Amino acid sequence: MRKRTITNGVVWLGAVDWDRRLFDSLIPLPDGTSYNAYLVEGSEKTALIDTVDPEMAGMLLSQLESVETIDYVIAQHAEQDHSGTIPQILERYPQAQVLATPKGKAMLVDLLRIPEERVTGVADGEVLSLGGKTLEFLYTPWVHWPETMSTYLREDRILFSCDFFGSHLATSDLYVTDQGLVYEAAKRYYAEIMMPFRAIIRKNLVKIKAYEIGIIAPSHGPIYDKPAFIVEAYEDWVTAEPKNSVVVPYISMHGSTRAMVAYLVSALAANGVTVHQFDLAVTDIGKLAIALVDAATLVVGTPTVHVGPHPLVANAAYLANALRPKLKFASIIGSYGWSSKAIERIAGQIPNLKVEILDPVMCKGYPRAADFEALDRLAAEIAAKHRELGLA
């Protein structure tokens, strides 16, 4: 992709990674991603904001061929998808100085072995004039590491936000053209890497709303020229209260747990509760993470494997525990052949979830009438709990 002008003196650089399907060897990228960098040229100095994943270094370096001088490299986040090409930039521009938060400086030295003397720490609120272009650095921690910051360009009212507001979405469009598509991609990204830190992100949102922002330029996905859309979405995601919804991740080996899940989901729907059902054998784990953003209740469905839960269910419970969603209630349903400790093992896996455990329903073999009645009671209890919280 060629470099593209945003406003006079502000240019998009970077790489669209259409084919990448996995991030951190963990996170599915069904729609690819992009690594956005930005060049800000003042009358006296030039700054490069973030770089690209080192796999795509050649693209950024070719876009910079006609740029003779870079004075500053603003490293808003030390993760390698944004910082990984900094060493090559410093080699090409020996006079360039990297600017980062003090925590970011330490990480850049540790992760990329950038010489300490090439990195300068900046303070929260510190201002850098490039000559007619004034950059203000705003600490915005935990979007997505503790060292992250955003950068506000005063004259053009642009907020460069790195992962914050970003979306894993490969597109040829410089700006958001399909809000629905971007909403899902941005929610996926928030769910997978930022959800545990939402209390701090709430403060970051208050902080950036003090600025008049015309454009939000993240380091993944398209640029927001109507930024209210994504700011309002974040405000919804980080609210303290969940919605009237239940997430049901499950595995079934011989059909018993599947029959229980189908019955429970139907009963919940009949009680006016929104349900998101995921067969963990085939699901995109990012979709599960998205559903967890709003869910009030988690019901895990598992068969019994060597006395414990199925390993894929254990994996999903581990993920839910790590993401610390807003869940208020949890339960377990499933089956066993001769004995099971699945309930105790799953309950022991989710200490981070401050949930009330509702009576589990485990059946021996294929569910009988009494098991279906127990599922009816569980569905009615979940619906009643949600009503008590004012969610329904």
Q: Which residues are at the interface with ligand FEO (CB under 6 A)?
A: 77, 79, 81-82, 144, 163, 220
Nearest approach in angstroms of CB 180 to ligand FEO is 22
User: Shortest approach of ligand FEO to residue 148 CB, angstroms?
Assistant: 8
Closer of 163 and 294 to ligand FEO (Cβ): 163
Q: How many residues are there in the chain? A: 392
Nearer to ligand FEO, 82 or 345 (CB): 82
Which residues neighbour 322 within 8 Å (Cβ) at sequence distance 6 or greater? 196, 352
Output 34 or 331, the one with its CB closest to ligand FEO.
34
Rounded CA separation 356/287 (Å): 24
> Of 77 and 345, which has the nearer Cβ to ligand FEO?
77
Shortest Å, Cβ 33 to ligand FEO? 8
- By CB atoms closer than 10 A (0-12, 13-18, 19+), residue 212 is exposed
Q: Report DSSP state, residue 361.
A: E
Q: Hey, how many other C-beta atoms are within 10 angstroms of the C-beta on 233?
A: 17
Least CB distance to ligand FEO at residue 70 (A): 21
Q: Considering only CA atoms, which of 147, 139, 154, 160 is closest in space to residue 203?
A: 139
- Which CB atom, from 31 or from 81, has the smaller least distance to ligand FEO? 81
Q: Find the residue with minimal CB distance to ligand FEO.
A: 79
Residue spans of alpha helices (H) in the chain: 57-63, 80-83, 86-92, 102-112, 179-193, 198-208, 228-237, 256-270, 285-292, 311-323, 342-349, 369-388
Report the nearest approach of ligand FEO to the CB of residue 315 (Å). 22
CB of 56 to ligand FEO, least distance (A): 13
CB-count exposure of residue 92 (10 Å: 0-12, 13-18, 19+): middle
- 86 near 108, Cβ under 8 Å? yes
CB of 127 to ligand FEO, least distance (A): 25
The answer to whether 27 touches 54, Cβ cutoff 8 Å, is no
Residue 82 vs 385, nearer CB to ligand FEO: 82
Of 244, 213, 247, give the one whose Cα is nearest residue 231. 213
Taking the least distance from each CB to ligand FEO, the nearer of 33 and 271 is 33
